[in-house]
Structure 1
Amino acid sequence: MDDLTPVPAEPADATAVRALVRRAYAPYVPRMGQEPVPMNADYERAIEDGDVYLVREGGELVALVVTREEGDHLLVENIAVAPGWQGRGIGTGILAWAEATATSLRYDEVRLYTHETMVENIAFYRRHGFEITRVAAEDEFRRVHLRKVCTTR
């Protein structure tokens, strides 16, 4: 595999970003009874804001991460790995990148959230040192909020 470090997305990537997110999140729609928020996000705007980073292998978009600086922490809004690339350590690499990015921005923690029915994601984050901080109903979604204190300082 090539270097799988996320790099900033360009405006021309918006269509591919949206397509990857839709494929990655499609299995959750029946479980949730609705489309997860990332499936309908404004990726043009997020790319314009500098919040979207891509992972490519051999020129193919295989994963992405959307982050946002939130005052006292780095928020990971979305991690999506193309279905054919899941289980190869890309998500783990993205989490390590997010922690290193948070540290470089002088934040002490990374936060994220996921829908409570995405139990595989919750288990994945917990295996990588994230702790659940709360479960809350927000809009029409039940979200599990997690955080990880940066250890790379």
Structure 2
Amino acid sequence: MSLYFALAKSSQLSEIRALFIKSMAPIGERMGVGQPANAFSNLRDFYQCGNLYVLEEQGTVLAAAALHEARNGLYVDYLAVHPDCQNEGLGKRILTELEVLTESRELSHLRLHTPEVMDELRSFYARRGFAETHRALPSHGRDQLLRVHFRKAISLSDHNMDLEFEHDRQIA
């Protein structure tokens, strides 16, 4: 398997949105909420800011992440692995790449959140070294289900990657 971690291309936006919708549907079902019609319609904003990444194989998007910088860290707004590729280690691989991005941008930590009802995701992040920081209701107000917020400290080393090469590279 030849995987590439890359900045998303404009031509991939609809494919990435479809990936997020399909991957997140089971989460919405478990939460008892449907996805709004405009779900993930803000991907172009992440793309334009250079904060939309894909993990792809032979041009097919297998996983994606949308993020932004906040409070000296990198915040993962959306992270998804295609349902047909789950449990194959791709979530771990994309998180590793996001850690590299965090370090290359000289930021101190990586943050994200997941719905409280997603026990397996909470365990997944804990196994990857993320520590729970707090639980809170979502700011969007569309539901009243707690989100569990996580943080992982990233140690800055002497071998920071040049920003020019932090993406668009083969990883496997």
Identity, % of aligned positions: 30
Cα distance in 2, alignment partners of residues 150 and 28 from structure 1:
28
Cα distance in 2, alignment partners of residues 33 and 3 from structure 1:
34
Residues 101 and 85 of structure 1: is their aligned pair in 2 closer, same or farther, counting only changes over 3 Å?
same
Equivalent position of 1:136 in the other structure: 136
Return 5+ residue gaps in structure 1 as ranges: none
Residues 18 and 48 of structure 1: is their aligned pair in 2 closer, same or farther, counting only changes over 3 Å?
same
Residue type of the partner of 1:35? G
Equivalent position of 1:145 in the other structure: 149
Q: Over residues 67-100 of structure 1, what are the superposed CA-to-partner deviations in whole Å (9 max), with x where a residue is unaligned?
A: 1111311111111000111111111111111111
Equivalent position of 1:23 in the other structure: 22
Residue type of the partner of 1:9? A
Is contact 1:72-1:107 (8 Å) kept?
A: yes
Cα distance in 2, alignment partners of residues 72 and 59 from structure 1:
33
Cα distance in 2, alignment partners of residues 150 and 35 from structure 1:
35
Equivalent position of 2:111 in the other structure: 111
Equivalent position of 2:63 in the other structure: 63
Root-mean-square deviation (CA), in Å?
Answer: 1.7
Rg comparison, structure with higher value: 2
Return 5+ residue gaps in structure 2 as ranges: 158-172
Which of structures 1 and 2 has the larger relative contact order (alpha carbons within 8 angstroms, sep 6+)? 2
Equivalent position of 1:75 in the other structure: 75
